[in-house]
A = this chain, B = another copy of it.
Amino acid sequence: MSPVAVAIGEYIEQLSRRVEQALDRLVPAESNPPEIIHKAMRYSLFAGGKRVRPVLCIEAARAVSGGEPDLIMDVACALEMIHTYSLIHDDLPALDNDDLRRGRPTSHKVFGEAMAILAGDALLTHAFVVLGSIGDARLVSELATASGTVGGMIAGQVHDIEGERQSPTAELLDRIHRAKTGALLRASVRMGAIHAGASEDQLDALSRYGEHIGLAFQIVDDLLDVLQTSEELGKTAGKDAAQHKITFPAVYGVEASRLMAERERDSAHACLTGFGVNATRLHELADLIVDRSK
């Protein structure tokens, strides 16, 4: 599959299908005892996610080495497992208490709270089963740190919970988004680059690309929560405002937020000079992330 032979939308669909085939290979079958936990893991993994993190990981590897997706596929899948675990735990009654995710009942609504907690734990754990078998401990460090409590995803979730009781400032917003969504998106790009043998300069440029699209992604997510209906979103709309979450539109307003997202997109593009045609899809992904809000 040449990187520019098909339009980006169709390309992502094709790549997503390959990611899903790999996830199917990497996660124990439902017939494996205890069946219920594998059923719960798979219910959330195969819920029609956009596979943003795997796609970023695969395309970052391609930007560096021009490599085939299959070489990086297991790394890409580990990222999706971490992302999915975070959604399952985020939706729990004790956290966001959400009944709907991607248009379907959330894990705890289907399997009960105990099994949803364990399914999240299991996906988190399985990401490291997968990475362990790849044999490069740097990838383990990247993923664990990006998922952790020091500027990582869990830090973001905690700031998010605490933020509900604080006034929405630009500084707090920046800290929350960088940790909650930014760290894992950045790690997606970095892990692809590291696995493909990036130089220090390449890794640095792609890390900055990851930060810019991460910020753009979060701004657009916040905008969608304000502008779209639950049906369009596939999850409960307007929950951010209802839960007094600190969001970009809440701090900057809708129009300024949209401009910020576009500025981040432009900065992301600028990081890709030097990668040539192998970075075509990364350019297109930056555009696509921002265009979601139109």
Listed by A's residue number, 13 A-B pairs whose Cβ atoms lie within 8 Å are: A34-B155, A37-B155, A38-B149, A41-B149, A114-B161, A118-B158, A121-B154, A126-B144, A126-B148, A128-B143, A128-B144, A129-B148, A131-B137
Q: Does A140 contact B (CB under 8 A)?
A: yes
Question: A237 on the interface (CB 8 Å rule)?
Answer: no
Mask: chain A, 140-157; 1 = CB below 8 Å from B; 0 = not: 111111011110101101
Q: By the criterion CB–CB under 8 Å, are A114 and B126 in contact?
A: no
The reply on A112 being an interface residue by CB < 8 A is yes
- Decide if A276 is an interface residue (CB 8 Å cutoff): no
The oligomer's copy count stands at: 2
Interface string of A141-184 (1 = CB under 8 A from B): 11111011110101101110110000000000000000000000
Given the interface contacts A94-B113, A129-B144, does A149 sit within 8 Å of B137 by beta carbon? no
The one of B126, B147, B150 that contacts A149, using a Cβ cutoff of 8 Å: B126
Contact B36 A162 (CB under 8 A): yes
| Chain A interface, DSSP helix/strand/loop, else mixed | helix
Rounded to whole angstroms, the CA-CA distance of A34 and B114 in the bound complex is: 26
The answer, yes or no, to whether A92 is at the interface (CB within 8 Å) is yes
Does A205 touch B at the CB level, under 8 Å?
no
Residues of B within 8 A of A141 (CB): 129, 132-133
With A28-B150, A140-B140 as known contacts, state yes or no: A145 contacts B117, CB within 8 Å. no
Query: Of all chain B residues, which has the CB nearest A127?
Result: B144
Chain B residues, CB < 8 A from A246: none
Count contacts on A: residues with CB < 8 A to the other chain.
54
Minimum distance in angstroms from A217 CB to a CB of chain B: 22
- Whether the Cβ atoms of A147 and B132 lie closer than 8 Å is no
Interface residue? A21 (CB, 8 A):
no
B-chain residues with CB within 8 Å of residue A5 when the two chains form the complex: none
Residue A125 contacts which of B37, B38, B115, B147 (CB distance < 8 angstroms)?
Answer: B147
Measured CA separation A120–B131 after assembly (Å):
21
A94-135 with Cβ < 8 A to chain B: 94-95, 112-115, 117-118, 120-122, 124-126, 128-129, 131-135
Q: Which of B117, B152, B158 contacts A95 (CB 8 A)?
A: B117
Among B95, B129, B133, B135, point to the contact of A114 (Cβ < 8 A): B95
Q: A34-B159, A37-B158, A92-B117 are in contact. List 7 more A-B contacts (CB 8 A).
A: A32-B150, A34-B162, A37-B149, A89-B121, A94-B113, A118-B158, A132-B142
Confirm or deny: A138 has a beta carbon within 8 angstroms of a beta carbon on chain B: yes
**Whole-angstrom CA separation of A158 from B38 in the bound complex:** 11
Does A68 sit at the interface, judged by CB under 8 A? no
